[in-house]
Structure 1
Amino acid sequence: MNIRKLFLFAFWTGCCLTSTLYAQERAKPKNGEGVSTFLQRFGYTSRAAQKEFLEINKGKLTRDGGLILGRSYRLPTGKKSGKKARAGSRKTSVVEPLFGPAYQNVSVRSHELEGACLYLVSGHGGPDPGAIGKVGNRELHEDEYAYDIILRLGRALMEKGAKVHIIIQDEKDGIRDDRYLSNSDRETCLGQTIPLDQIARLQQRCDAINRLTYKDKEKYKRAIFIHVDSRGHKDQVDVFFYHSPGSKLGKRLTENIHKTFERKYDKHQPNRGFRGTVSERSLYVLKKSNPAAAFLELGNIQNERDRKRLVIPSNRQALADWICQGIIKDFKGQR
């Protein structure tokens, strides 16, 4: 090979290497973004893309696997998932990695919640498991069951065309069809580490909601908070609902969800009756978050019968579906 050919070969090889290096795009996360939401912004929604991202950015994440504001991250080189919808076109499907591989592909079956924006918050999380029940040697943590139901609710709302923000997130746990859910402290608040201090923890999620509501353009904005109660072993309770004192929209939302539960119990357990209640309560998250909100306590984790509402996957799905139907009723009845 003569000198001229050798020079050309080296030149083109250098060009190829340079283009490969520049193809490795970099970007900085926005405030509140976790790995999945950060990647989703650039069209990467597959598990393979998430895995590659974690590998090529080793040592640049927090101890809990979160992103650091101001830090530049390399984006995956793999194929992006799908195309962005054209302006004015309706989505027919959504990909949400938080739901897990089996459930992340969501078909938009209707558009009856188009124009609705929901902020979904599962109670506790991170260093705080919430209420703890026991079945044999197993510990049942409130935050795991509340989170699974929140994910199921989010998916049901997306199927109806709603815009959904899942405030408390676990990058690993998607929707799970197990009776006994494994416990962890991986949960974050939109990618941020959840503090142990109770007030700081509650304020963090309210701040996250309020930042989003400031940006979201939808007229119908509602927050849903889901918790599990802890009482004496003999105390069987139905789902009960709270709204902020003086909130007309919050009261209407909780009443619409409550009425949906009443109808479902009349249909599926006609001789049982439904004893869940709606009432005002000055809870921190209801006072400090901007959207009208409903706060649900789904049952007593210490009571054997109430636990069936939580540990049986089809029951968790039913709870999510009924809450969704109550939100649809509220959305359609708005003035």
Structure 2
Amino acid sequence: MNKAVIRKYIILIGALLYSLAVSAQSTSELATDKPKPGEGLYSFLIRHKLSPQEHQQAFIDLNKGKFGKNNSLLAHHAYLIPSATIELHEPLFGKERAFFPLESNELKGTAFYLVAGHGGPDPGAIGQYGNHELHEDEYAYDITLRLAKKLMENGSKVHLIIQDEDDGIRDEQILKYDNHETCGSETIPLDQNQRLKQRTREVNKLYKKDSEAYRRCIIIHLDSRSKRRQIDVFFYHHKNSSGGKNLAYQLRDTFDEKYKQHQPSRGFSGTVSTRNLYLLRHTTPSSVFIELGNIQNYRDQQRFVIADNRQALANWLYEGIKKDFERNNKK
């Protein structure tokens, strides 16, 4: 049995155990209330800040035997009120972060295809940090996971193209290197051209299955090769992609605002330009290729080795994406 099949079984078993645990939770932890005169089910749920569309069935299941005709509420009954919290589950985030709450639906109707740079037999650029080596693929993957979680917390559908079942989101400064990342469920090939084609196929396959109106592919690398003192972040898009161009400029503007706010003395030199990169040419969704810095540059390394900084980068990417989505919706 291959690793992909095993992982699917683990996910299914984990989800089943979690759902059983939730269903077994003591109802004494839930609030109760009686309906007001003339109050129907919808009005009752809305009064308790619950969405009838999302919580009606849970409410009915919790209060079986307490309803009149057509699920009308009975004045003499106190009804259990379901929790408004919706729990999400993604094992790739690691054991401590696998379960997390849905915080909003601000990005409902979006789908993202997140491609962490390199992986498998290709570690990417390697920076020297004291006595330690910093591998580009490990840090790009950690930032990508953090971005994925932020997007999912706010209602997005997220596909992680590069996956590592063992790592999860990590808070250490030195992220241990390994080479068993996969592209979806497939082993990553040694040949670079085959790696690029494999990622492109995976993105396009998933894109074809999705129906969200706003779909974007985001590719994250940490190998800009820049040696300047300013903070250099590069955003690339295909010359014929208006969606990629708009997102790239919005991300650049968001980073500019954030660096002016948090590090005004450092200077920020983020640029947007077109590049004839394979993934930008051949992926179906509008795509942006991002170089968040140079992991071989000591000044940039401070951005990557501190977990809070990696989270900040993910948060800023999220904010730029959200602004682009909101602007796109106004058209």
Q: What TM-score do you get using the length of structure 2 for normalisation?
A: 0.76
Is the Cα–Cα contact under 8 Å of residues 241 and 277 in structure 1 kept in the other structure? yes
Match for residue 101 of structure 2 among 101, 104, 107 = 107
The answer to whether residue 296 in structure 2 is matched with residue 327 in structure 1 is: no
The answer to whether residue 14 in structure 2 is matched with residue 45 in structure 1 is: yes
The aligned amino acid for 2:247 is L
Take 1:232 and 1:274, find their aligned partners in 2: how far apart are those partners? 13
Take 1:261 and 1:332, find their aligned partners in 2: how far apart are those partners? 17
Could you tell me which residue of structure 1 aligns to residue 303 of structure 2?
309
Is the Cα–Cα contact under 8 Å of residues 139 and 304 in structure 2 kept in the other structure? yes
Match for residue 82 of structure 1 among 19, 37, 53 = 19
Is the Cα–Cα contact under 8 Å of residues 231 and 267 in structure 2 kept in the other structure? no
Take 1:196 and 1:132, find their aligned partners in 2: how far apart are those partners? 17
Local SS of the residue matching 1:139: strand
The aligned amino acid for 2:265 is N
The answer to whether residue 218 in structure 2 is matched with residue 224 in structure 1 is: yes
Take 1:253 and 1:281, find their aligned partners in 2: how far apart are those partners? 15
Take 1:252 and 1:231, find their aligned partners in 2: how far apart are those partners? 25
Deviation of 1:277 after TM superposition, in Å, equals 0.4
The answer to whether residue 237 in structure 2 is matched with residue 243 in structure 1 is: yes
The aligned amino acid for 1:276 is G
Local SS of the residue matching 1:80: helix
The aligned amino acid for 1:101 is K
Listed as ranges, the matches of 1:276-315 within 5 Å are 276-315=270-309
Match for residue 318 of structure 1 among 309, 312, 316 = 312
Could you tell me which residue of structure 2 aligns to residue 161 of structure 1?
155
Over 3 Å counting, the alpha-carbon distance change for 1:291 and 1:88 in structure 2 is farther
Over 3 Å counting, the alpha-carbon distance change for 1:186 and 1:236 in structure 2 is farther
Deviation of 1:92 after TM superposition, in Å, equals 1.8
Match for residue 202 of structure 1 among 193, 196, 221 = 196
Q: Number of matched residues? A: 271
Take 2:187 and 2:223, find their aligned partners in 1: how far apart are those partners? 24
Deviations 1:48-96 (A, max 9, x none): xxxxxxxxxxxxxxxxxxxxxxxxxxxxxxx533289xx9638822110
Take 2:201 and 2:175, find their aligned partners in 1: how far apart are those partners? 29
Deviations 1:161-219 (A, max 9, x none): 10100010000000000000000001000120000101100110110010101111111
Over 3 Å counting, the alpha-carbon distance change for 1:80 and 1:293 in structure 2 is same
Take 1:236 and 1:300, find their aligned partners in 2: how far apart are those partners? 12
Could you tell me which residue of structure 1 aligns to residue 32 of structure 2?
none
Take 1:176 and 1:136, find their aligned partners in 2: how far apart are those partners? 20
> What are structure 1's unaligned runs of at least 5 residues?
1-27, 47-78
Over 3 Å counting, the alpha-carbon distance change for 1:264 and 1:234 in structure 2 is closer
> What are structure 2's unaligned runs of at least 5 residues?
23-51, 56-84
The aligned amino acid for 2:206 is L
Could you tell me which residue of structure 2 aligns to residue 128 of structure 1?
122
Deviation of 1:266 after TM superposition, in Å, equals 1.5
Is the Cα–Cα contact under 8 Å of residues 231 and 268 in structure 2 kept in the other structure? no
Take 2:231 and 2:265, find their aligned partners in 1: how far apart are those partners? 16
Identity %: 51
Deviation above 4 Å: which 4+ runs of structure 1? 32-35, 232-237
Over 3 Å counting, the alpha-carbon distance change for 1:88 and 1:244 in structure 2 is farther
